[in-house]
Amino acid sequence: MPRESDSVEGREDAVPTVADAPMSEALFRAARVHRIMAGSLLRDTGLYPGQEVLMMQLWERGEQRQADLIKTLGLDPSTVTKMLQRLEQSGFVTRKPFPDDRRAVVVSATRAGQALCDQVRRAWRELEQLTAAGFTEAEYREAMRVLSRIEANLTTPPPAAGGS
Protein backbone atom coordinates (compact mmCIF):
# COMPACT_ATOMS: atom_id res chain seq x y z
CA MET A 1 0.00 0.00 0.00
CA PRO A 2 1.51 3.38 -0.91
CA ARG A 3 2.39 5.68 1.95
CA GLU A 4 2.18 9.45 1.91
CA SER A 5 5.96 9.56 2.45
CA ASP A 6 6.39 7.70 -0.88
CA SER A 7 4.93 10.63 -2.80
CA VAL A 8 7.14 12.77 -4.97
CA GLU A 9 4.62 15.59 -4.88
CA GLY A 10 6.17 19.02 -4.78
CA ARG A 11 9.42 17.99 -6.43
CA GLU A 12 10.16 19.96 -9.57
CA ASP A 13 11.01 16.81 -11.59
CA ALA A 14 8.13 14.80 -10.13
CA VAL A 15 6.10 12.52 -12.32
CA PRO A 16 2.39 12.64 -11.55
CA THR A 17 1.38 9.81 -9.24
CA VAL A 18 -0.76 7.02 -10.59
CA ALA A 19 -3.60 5.97 -8.31
CA ASP A 20 -3.74 2.27 -7.50
CA ALA A 21 -0.53 1.42 -9.43
CA PRO A 22 2.38 1.90 -6.99
CA MET A 23 4.62 -0.82 -8.47
CA SER A 24 4.11 0.38 -12.02
CA GLU A 25 4.76 3.95 -10.95
CA ALA A 26 7.93 3.01 -9.04
CA LEU A 27 9.18 1.00 -12.02
CA PHE A 28 8.43 3.91 -14.36
CA ARG A 29 10.30 6.37 -12.11
CA ALA A 30 13.30 4.04 -11.70
CA ALA A 31 13.48 3.39 -15.46
CA ARG A 32 13.22 7.12 -16.13
CA VAL A 33 16.11 8.11 -13.87
CA HIS A 34 18.15 5.10 -15.04
CA ARG A 35 17.78 6.30 -18.65
CA ILE A 36 18.71 9.86 -17.64
CA MET A 37 21.84 8.59 -15.86
CA ALA A 38 22.72 6.39 -18.86
CA GLY A 39 22.43 9.45 -21.10
CA SER A 40 24.69 11.42 -18.81
CA LEU A 41 27.33 8.68 -18.74
CA LEU A 42 27.16 8.22 -22.52
CA ARG A 43 27.27 11.94 -23.34
CA ASP A 44 30.99 11.92 -24.26
CA THR A 45 30.53 9.01 -26.68
CA GLY A 46 28.09 10.88 -28.92
CA LEU A 47 25.51 8.12 -28.41
CA TYR A 48 22.00 8.55 -27.08
CA PRO A 49 20.49 6.08 -24.59
CA GLY A 50 19.40 2.97 -26.46
CA GLN A 51 21.90 3.41 -29.28
CA GLU A 52 24.63 1.82 -27.19
CA VAL A 53 22.56 -1.36 -26.86
CA LEU A 54 22.35 -1.60 -30.63
CA MET A 55 26.09 -0.96 -30.92
CA MET A 56 26.77 -3.67 -28.30
CA GLN A 57 24.95 -6.15 -30.54
CA LEU A 58 27.22 -5.21 -33.43
CA TRP A 59 30.35 -5.44 -31.26
CA GLU A 60 29.33 -8.85 -29.89
CA ARG A 61 27.92 -10.44 -33.03
CA GLY A 62 29.53 -8.44 -35.83
CA GLU A 63 27.82 -7.43 -39.04
CA GLN A 64 24.16 -8.44 -39.17
CA ARG A 65 20.94 -7.93 -41.03
CA GLN A 66 18.79 -5.02 -39.88
CA ALA A 67 15.83 -7.41 -39.47
CA ASP A 68 17.90 -9.52 -37.06
CA LEU A 69 18.82 -6.43 -35.01
CA ILE A 70 15.14 -5.49 -34.81
CA LYS A 71 14.26 -8.98 -33.59
CA THR A 72 17.12 -9.14 -31.07
CA LEU A 73 16.42 -5.69 -29.63
CA GLY A 74 12.66 -6.27 -29.51
CA LEU A 75 11.98 -2.78 -30.79
CA ASP A 76 9.61 -1.40 -33.39
CA PRO A 77 11.21 -1.50 -36.88
CA SER A 78 10.70 2.24 -37.33
CA THR A 79 12.55 2.90 -34.05
CA VAL A 80 15.53 0.81 -35.13
CA THR A 81 15.53 2.42 -38.59
CA LYS A 82 15.62 5.89 -37.00
CA MET A 83 18.42 4.81 -34.62
CA LEU A 84 20.43 3.43 -37.52
CA GLN A 85 19.93 6.59 -39.57
CA ARG A 86 21.30 8.68 -36.69
CA LEU A 87 24.19 6.27 -36.08
CA GLU A 88 25.00 6.27 -39.79
CA GLN A 89 24.92 10.10 -39.92
CA SER A 90 27.30 10.13 -36.94
CA GLY A 91 29.65 7.78 -38.76
CA PHE A 92 29.27 4.88 -36.30
CA VAL A 93 27.57 2.35 -38.62
CA THR A 94 27.19 1.59 -42.29
CA ARG A 95 24.23 0.00 -43.99
CA LYS A 96 24.36 -1.78 -47.33
CA PRO A 97 22.16 -4.19 -49.27
CA PHE A 98 22.54 -7.86 -48.31
CA PRO A 99 24.38 -9.69 -51.13
CA ASP A 100 21.86 -12.55 -51.45
CA ASP A 101 18.73 -10.45 -50.95
CA ARG A 102 18.85 -6.85 -52.17
CA ARG A 103 15.72 -6.06 -50.10
CA ALA A 104 17.55 -6.86 -46.86
CA VAL A 105 20.02 -4.44 -45.27
CA VAL A 106 23.28 -5.40 -43.55
CA VAL A 107 24.50 -3.21 -40.68
CA SER A 108 28.12 -3.00 -39.52
CA ALA A 109 30.03 -0.88 -37.06
CA THR A 110 32.55 1.46 -38.65
CA ARG A 111 36.03 2.00 -37.28
CA ALA A 112 34.66 5.04 -35.40
CA GLY A 113 31.84 2.87 -34.03
CA GLN A 114 34.29 0.16 -32.95
CA ALA A 115 36.38 2.80 -31.17
CA LEU A 116 33.45 3.52 -28.80
CA CYS A 117 33.32 -0.02 -27.44
CA ASP A 118 35.59 0.39 -24.40
CA GLN A 119 34.12 3.78 -23.48
CA VAL A 120 30.55 2.43 -23.64
CA ARG A 121 31.44 -0.63 -21.59
CA ARG A 122 33.02 1.62 -18.93
CA ALA A 123 29.86 3.76 -18.89
CA TRP A 124 27.70 0.66 -18.42
CA ARG A 125 29.93 -0.66 -15.62
CA GLU A 126 29.59 2.71 -13.88
CA LEU A 127 25.82 2.68 -14.45
CA GLU A 128 25.66 -0.80 -12.92
CA GLN A 129 27.66 0.36 -9.88
CA LEU A 130 25.40 3.37 -9.38
CA THR A 131 22.27 1.29 -9.86
CA ALA A 132 23.30 -1.37 -7.34
CA ALA A 133 25.07 0.90 -4.84
CA GLY A 134 24.56 -0.26 -1.26
CA PHE A 135 23.04 -3.61 -2.22
CA THR A 136 24.30 -6.70 -0.46
CA GLU A 137 24.98 -9.69 -2.70
CA ALA A 138 21.70 -11.24 -1.53
CA GLU A 139 19.76 -8.03 -2.22
CA TYR A 140 21.32 -7.81 -5.68
CA ARG A 141 20.31 -11.41 -6.49
CA GLU A 142 16.79 -10.77 -5.16
CA ALA A 143 16.45 -7.56 -7.20
CA MET A 144 17.54 -9.45 -10.32
CA ARG A 145 15.00 -12.19 -9.54
CA VAL A 146 12.20 -9.66 -9.06
CA LEU A 147 13.09 -7.75 -12.24
CA SER A 148 13.15 -11.02 -14.21
CA ARG A 149 9.73 -11.87 -12.81
CA ILE A 150 8.36 -8.47 -13.80
CA GLU A 151 9.74 -8.92 -17.31
CA ALA A 152 8.20 -12.40 -17.54
CA ASN A 153 4.86 -11.07 -16.26
CA LEU A 154 4.85 -8.39 -18.95
CA THR A 155 5.99 -10.62 -21.82
CA THR A 156 3.93 -13.74 -21.11
CA PRO A 157 0.46 -13.63 -22.61
CA PRO A 158 -2.28 -13.80 -19.98
CA PRO A 159 -4.33 -17.00 -19.86
CA ALA A 160 -7.40 -17.03 -22.08
CA ALA A 161 -10.48 -15.74 -20.27
CA GLY A 162 -13.03 -18.40 -19.43
CA GLY A 163 -10.64 -21.24 -20.29
CA SER A 164 -10.01 -24.25 -18.09
Where in the chain are the domains?
A: 19-148
- Give residue 67's pLDDT: 93
For residue 5, what pLDDT band results from cuts at 50, 70 and 90? very low
Residue 124: pLDDT band by 50, 70, 90 thresholds? Answer: very high
List the Cα angle 20/29/73 in 5-degree steps: 110
Q: What is the pLDDT of residue 12?
A: 59
pLDDT at position 154: 92
Confidence at residue 11, expressed as pLDDT on a 0 to 100 scale: 56
Q: Please determine, for residue 93, whether its predicted confidence score (pLDDT) is greater than 70.
A: yes
Write the CATH number of the domain with boundaries 19-148.
1.10.10.10
The model's pLDDT over 62-71, given as tens digits with 9 standing for 90+, comes to: 999 999 999 9
For 136-156, write each residue's pLDDT tens digit.
999 999 999 999 999 999 988
The model's pTM: 0.77
